A = this chain, B = another copy of it.
Amino acid sequence: MNNINLKRLALRLNLSVSTVSKAFHDNYDISPETKKRILKLAKQLNYQPNTFASNLRTQKSRTIAVVIPEITNNFFALAINGIESVAREKGYHVLIYLTHEDYANEVSFIQHLQSGRADGVIISLSDSARSVTHLNNLRNKDIPIVFFDRIYDGMKATKITTDDYESSYNATRYLIELGCSKIAHFYYSKDLSIVNNRMKGYLQALKDYKLTFQKRYLVGCSSNNHENYQLIKRHLTKANRPEAIFSSFENLAILCYQVCEELKLSIPGDVQIVSFSNLETAALLNPSLTTITQPAYEIGQKAALALFQALDKEGTGLSNEHIVIKSELIKRNSTTRLENPSFRKP
């Protein structure tokens, strides 16, 4: 339908093909007037330089890839908006890949990205990620990687996270100071560094307040929400039900609310709940949810800035910086001071 190519453009403008080509490649070898003339006619004729041919010459895709576990999670949706805001300013497109927490998907995506689909990769690991050979292969092709949230410590790369350990410690201490001693921690995927750090913060707070750690209150969930619902239900029907739940992930907190509704348990009367969460409706829930709110948008922005920094200085060595942006504990009605606290400050 559209047979305009560089040759025809050149013919109509009485210029050489190479001159016309320069107009599309930010080449300063031609005068601004000539460039303007070329672009004007190209626009009139609806001509677009062929990306494939053009990419082949420059070996740049002007695309960055973002590999994340899921998109129905508010943290990742906000982080993408942050990444996107930076990429657009740089004139880059963002290619989003969803792993659905599946390691095989992650490996397959990264293999594809090795062949030049994107100039750089921002990744938050899938919870089942085990080996990182695929990431090393990417690095061997000189495609920079930036990790955010679910990072891999063992690779030299910029990593952006929140203060997972401190946030967890503070949330647990807050529950203890409200009078709770039976505090359960719900998490999944112990292999992820953020999960590990959150767990450590929880355990350290118990220790500092001389509360005995009870294994039954450390509840490992799966990536299957139906299974998790049943698991949470079992824990909330036991005789030694926890007084408080500290959830590592938003969706586990939502499941807790659903289970409490089914079991007719009052939040916070029967069970208190605090969760890592970027839920927009946290304040509107019944009752409003106490959250550790992550700076998701800012984390995305910083990850993108770090990636563009790596792309700019190409080959001059990679940063190994770990940037930590603080989360905020927002106290709402899902937590309250116990009237007859089982725990009193030592």
Instruction: Enumerate chain A interface residues (CB-CB to B < 8 A).
Output: 1-2, 46, 48-56, 59, 61, 63, 70-72, 74, 77-78, 80-81, 84, 88, 93-98, 105, 109, 111-112, 114-117, 137, 140-142, 254, 257-258, 261, 279-281, 283-288
Q: Give chain B residues whose Cβ lies under 8 Å from the Cβ of A50.
A: 115-116
Chain B residue nearest to A117 (CB atoms) is B51
Chain B residue nearest to A137 (CB atoms) is B46
User: With A71-B77, A81-B98, A285-B285 in contact, is A140–B2 under 8 Å at CB?
Assistant: yes
Smallest distance from the beta carbon of A338 to chain B beta carbons, Å?
Answer: 22
B56 lies within 8 A of A53 (CB): yes
B56 lies within 8 A of A52 (CB): yes
- As for how many copies of this chain the complex holds, the number is 2
Question: B52, B80, B112, B281: which contacts A116 (Cβ < 8 A)?
Answer: B52
A115 lies within 8 A of B51 (CB): yes
Give the distance in Å from the alpha carbon of A285 to the alpha carbon of B254 in the complex.
Answer: 11
Give the distance in Å from the alpha carbon of A284 to the alpha carbon of B262 in the complex.
Answer: 12
Smallest distance from the beta carbon of A90 to chain B beta carbons, Å?
Answer: 14
22 contacts between A and B (CB under 8 A): A1-B140, A1-B141, A46-B137, A48-B111, A49-B115, A51-B117, A52-B59, A52-B116, A71-B81, A72-B78, A72-B280, A77-B77, A81-B98, A88-B105, A93-B112, A93-B117, A94-B97, A95-B96, A96-B96, A257-B281, A286-B286, A286-B287
Question: B2, B48, B141: which contacts A2 (Cβ < 8 A)?
Answer: B141
Q: Give chain B residues whose Cβ lies under 8 Å from the Cβ of A96.
A: 94-96
